[in-house]
Structure 1
């Protein structure tokens, strides 16, 4: 099977953007005067949008460090930016600053492609490939904008954004204006996703070589997420969430995969299951690519077999939440490795234990399927280069279960608990969990969303932050409790003995945590961006 589009390397295309999107100096003219002369050039331009987001400062690793401020994961290796886990944000922490640059670069590149293709469409029309490429650019601009908007924008103050196509002639390289409210940003994102839908094909219309590219249903799913975050400030948007998820079912035939394990399978035939919406298809072998996250979470040095990095481990808190559904339940076992749990590693049956780094007693199991195969690296399941530990897995960015959880939340927030129960029970039934018999509450929603989506890039921390502003007292209280708690771990008496006894203790790397306040819902802008803006970028309230 070929490597799908998100695996491709960065395009050599030189675009009119720089790392500091607010740089007040003119950026000059891009070396692109002869671009979009044929389909291959359009493909090259679009491919340059994908690779950056799954590299290390994107979904490969860096964006996940901030989850240490919730209670589902611990870092398991000492880092130099504990402020991400204690709410003492500066805005200059390398992981969030790198992500800030990454997504604004992506917006600028998308902007340029959109402008060029719209101009060509007016002058001479577009080929089928260029038509699709324009949809991909609208999708990627909306996706990048969303990641910035909800992480930095509030109702009182939006984030900087500009559309190149709104300028007569070429973009004048001015500093993007800061929107008055994040709601204005959300409106722009919805417009981009609507444009994407009008240009993109359905997933089923792609050939195998192009699966992994955005498609109509992926844009609809992002609209659902945008409306859910918008509902933080305007509760009427919950109705739009319901409409979007309904459309995914009726118009695009999205559904749950038959089994929980199928979603995280290392078998290519399972990649494009019913639950798939958008992902980063990854691979191993000597030329594998995709996300290194699967190697980042593996035991450091992989018990002498493979170079795992030993970072980002489950806490006792998320284990405790999952075990409420019964010891050894299917979702728990498939999500978390605990001491003495059997698993396959390079063809050998093992019992899990941890022998390096900060011992926490657990490891993420969701993405371990590629490592079960004998000679996993030589057979193409795991990258032969342990310094870039990608593996064959369809790493989800959006899957249909998340959409059901958003719709269930919307039903609860619009006083339709019976319909919420149906959606939650679909998820529970798939993992052979006891179905709910009474109408659910927001506490049930909290449990299901936290457990089903654990260790995925669905942003549990920002779930807590938006819930902390909810009008529902129950979910607000649960969010406040977790935001102000510190994660716990299992401390084993003998780390090398899978059957060793343990005690439950606070994680030792960042014990002192600031009391959470509402302004911490968003990050502060990097200081250098404030300086370079010459007063055009206002820092978020609560930060110096």
Structure 2
């Protein structure tokens, strides 16, 4: 069921106990809601809707704009502030917005988990509803844990007193996420039907579990969780890298979780932001990381010709990036088309190379779903975790080479050491997931952010367009938002940030 089938009454539930002794006739309250299966579905749908504000729209691209992958000249959501190291608890949009949006989703999930068990309905439907809410609660906590570290752990429906809770440790948040995901995986179906498109499955819960374990450096457990997804055989790589992100292929076999959109109710503006506004401009730093079709880098491959720099390149380059001399929207690309760096972001738009924008298309309106978890991530998570746990065995090669084969790239060479495989896998993740918001977190968990996030970024002419700064004594975590600190005196700020 698409999440745009939003039952607005569920969104009115704030959990504020001050109003439970009155029963207005024009809206639901906690006293009159949570009575029927329809209410259960409405509450769950409202919980899904919070994915839009926490993970939807251009948010994944925003995280890439903190890295050398993209340059955000207009400081989208404060990404430029973070990239330049001038962010603080008050001046950066995503730092402030993520906190409130995630806790809104957590509050909704908590209400579903607490209230639905008492509703009289078919148990075969009740259990998945609760399990889906458990997954969503874990995912919203992941959005906090991955940037702030420890945060207040709330597992009950919203009440005012929760606004004064102190922070729990990052370890306690991790434990709760994994507990929720284990419970969800046990109750969710291996796959979802067409009628339930957009909802989570067992594979979704296990894939997020694998990501959390990978981020925590728990290699054997991360390999086990990702292998469990592989063994389900519920997902597979989509054969066309560009096609898997196009509207006609939404919900394809590779997609494990996405944010659902539908015109006219729920839309975003990625088409115009990625293309005409050039708000997320790929950098020359990123372009130089795409290898050649012989599997070698531009420094080492005899196939690389500086006079024809886009020939014989990893096909993911042309399927991700708009570059000078290529065709996009039915016309040739020239330097002035993308003035920030000379490059545009194709991935995440609905436009095609050889076709002009369709008649009647409103460029600032798109309902392309935003992919959050896909099967390629599961394969590369398994490869990295297994390499760290046991070395580059045959299963590591098998997993990563599936991803490379789909991309049109050769297999990794046999006989790599663990360290050599590690470096290649890290590079593979960067190229495979451009614009999907994973590279920033990879750099932090690899503890290479103090190097990679301190680099200047350049345009196609080699001119520096942005100076970056990352303080390893501070910037591995974000500051807690000023708004949260002002309303809750029991919150402690992260180290080396002002309150």
What TM-score do you get using the length of structure 2 for normalisation?
0.85
Which deviations, in whole Å up to 9, do the C-alpha atoms of 1:338-359 show, x marking residues without a partner? 011123x2xxx21123646742
Shift of 1:138: 1.1
- Structure 1 residue aligned with 2:209: 223
Shift of 1:33: 1.6
Q: Distance in 2 between matches of 1:282 and 1:77?
A: 25
- Whether contact under 8 Å (1:139, 1:196) holds in the other structure is yes
Q: Distance in 2 between matches of 1:49 and 1:377?
A: 36
* Closer, same or farther: CA 62–259 of 1 in aligned 2, 3 Å: closer
Shift of 1:27: 6.6
- Whether contact under 8 Å (1:72, 1:315) holds in the other structure is yes
Q: Distance in 1 between matches of 2:75 and 2:155?
A: 41
- Whether contact under 8 Å (2:257, 2:374) holds in the other structure is yes
Is the counterpart of residue 417 in structure 1 residue 392 in structure 2? yes
Q: Secondary structure at the match of 1:151?
A: helix
For structure 1, which segment, 433-442 or 127-136, has the greater mean C-alpha deviation from structure 2 after superposition? 127-136
Matches within 5 A, 1:432-447: 432-438=408-414, 439=416, 440-447=420-427
> Residue 287 of structure 2 is aligned with which of 308, 319, 326?
319
Shift of 1:222: 0.7
Is the counterpart of residue 276 in structure 1 residue 255 in structure 2? yes
- Whether contact under 8 Å (1:17, 1:105) holds in the other structure is no
Q: Secondary structure at the match of 1:142?
A: helix
Is the counterpart of residue 71 in structure 1 residue 68 in structure 2? yes
Shift of 1:447: 0.9
- Structure 1 residue aligned with 2:464: 506
Shift of 1:463: 1.0
Shift of 1:250: 1.2
Shift of 1:5: 1.5
Unaligned runs of 5+ in 1: 19-25, 232-236, 301-309, 379-383, 469-475, 491-502
Matches within 5 A, 1:77-226: 77=74, 81=78, 82-92=80-90, 93-120=92-119, 124=120, 126-153=122-149, 158-164=150-156, 173-175=161-163, 177-204=165-192, 206=193, 208-226=194-212
- Whether contact under 8 Å (1:91, 1:526) holds in the other structure is yes
Q: Secondary structure at the match of 2:259?
A: strand
Shift of 1:294: 3.6
Root mean square deviation, CA, Å: 2.7
Shift of 1:277: 0.8
* Closer, same or farther: CA 148–394 of 1 in aligned 2, 3 Å: same
Tell me the number of residue pairs that the alignment of Structure 1 and Structure 2 aligns.
465
Q: Secondary structure at the match of 2:462?
A: strand
Q: Secondary structure at the match of 2:463?
A: strand
Which deviations, in whole Å up to 9, do the C-alpha atoms of 1:291-336 show, x marking residues without a partner? 4334321223xxxxxxxxx311211111110145564431111011
- Structure 1 residue aligned with 2:478: 523
* Closer, same or farther: CA 68–258 of 1 in aligned 2, 3 Å: closer
What TM-score do you get using the length of structure 1 for normalisation?
0.78
- Whether contact under 8 Å (1:397, 1:456) holds in the other structure is yes
* Closer, same or farther: CA 15–329 of 1 in aligned 2, 3 Å: same
* Closer, same or farther: CA 79–114 of 1 in aligned 2, 3 Å: closer
- Whether contact under 8 Å (2:77, 2:94) holds in the other structure is no
* Closer, same or farther: CA 11–201 of 1 in aligned 2, 3 Å: farther
